[in-house]
Amino acid sequence: MTRTALVTGGARGMGAEVARLLAADGFAVAVADVRGCEPVAEELRREGGLAAAYDCDVRDWEAVADVIAAAERDLGPLRTAVQVAGVYRMVSFLEMRLEQWRQVLEVNVDGTFNVLRIASERIAANGGGSVVAISSTASWLAWDDSTHYLASKAAINGLVRGMAYELGPRRVRANAVAPGTIRTPATAPELAMAGVEEAEAAACPLGRVGESTDVAQAVRFLCDEERAAWITGHVLVVDGGYSTHGGNSGFGSTVDTTTD
């Protein structure tokens, strides 16, 4: 029987890499994003996989429900959902306006709730599976000018724990991955600035910044119905050891995904 995985934020970066690895594991992949994500779906089909692309703003409950219904109609029963879509922008707390707070919370918290809530209902109905959200080391480490982002990622950690407790009897596992500094299309320009990547790598005991595949491999593991069969309610840290000492390099000052 076909197993379908939904990947939001799948047009590029971590989401696209998650889609590739889940397709390699035999999932039919529904790729969803506010950006056009047909090129990723087409790539998966060229590699012999089953995939479809959907436009979706995760803030919109009805849009998420429509995408999940379409994915099951087009590809097959949903067994996995990975919520990668999110936004980030540095704003000093005392300069933060309500609309800036809401912009980050609506995508990162409301969007994650929408995707995981609707997907988990379908996954439970289909006999079980897993959902994975993207958290951050910012959920427990304070970053410069990022209080709204910190709050949003801490909420995701609480969400997956609560889901794991409630949905375990329905055979739905809920976990999160908490990345450190990852090279993505959004962060690459700042990493290319003089000395920035070197400073970020030096802050990591493993001596380099992360790549999208580092996060995607962790997600892949948590979605594996055999290797991760008894793991739920967990936040898996993927940061090269950065959070072992809690150093803060101030990275992210030029990153703004809220307007991208």
Each residue's pLDDT tens digit, 120-155: 999 999 999 999 999 999 999 998 899 999 999 999
Question: What's the pLDDT score for residue 78?
Answer: 98
Tokens of 58: 């995760």
CA neighbor of 107 nearest in space, from 129, 132, 131, 133 = 133
Grade residue 250 by pLDDT with cuts at 50, 70 and 90: low
Q: Is the pLDDT reported for residue 251 higher than 90?
A: no
Distance CA 237, CA 187 (A): 19
Annotated catalytic residues are 149
Question: What's the pLDDT score for residue 255?
Answer: 82
Distance CA 61, CA 110 (A): 9
Task: Provide mean pLDDT across the span 217-235.
Answer: 98
Q: Is the pLDDT reported for residue 113 higher than 60?
A: yes
Read off the pLDDT of residues 29-70 as tens digits, 9 standing for 90 and up.
Answer: 999 999 999 999 999 999 999 999 999 999 999 999 999 999
The whole-angstrom distance between residue 249's C-alpha and the CA centroid of its chain comes to 23
Half-sphere exposure of 136 (CA within 13 A, CB side): 24
CA neighbor of 80 nearest in space, from 33, 19, 135, 136 = 19
**Beta-ladder partners of 173:** 130
Q: Is the pLDDT reported for residue 249 higher than 60?
A: no
Task: Provide mean pLDDT across the span 161-183.
Answer: 98
Cα dihedral across residues 64, 51, 216, 227: positive or negative: positive
Query: In CATH, what is the architecture of 4-244?
Result: 3-Layer(aba) Sandwich (3.40)
**Residue 61 contacts by C-beta under 8 Å, 6 or more apart in sequence?**
114, 118
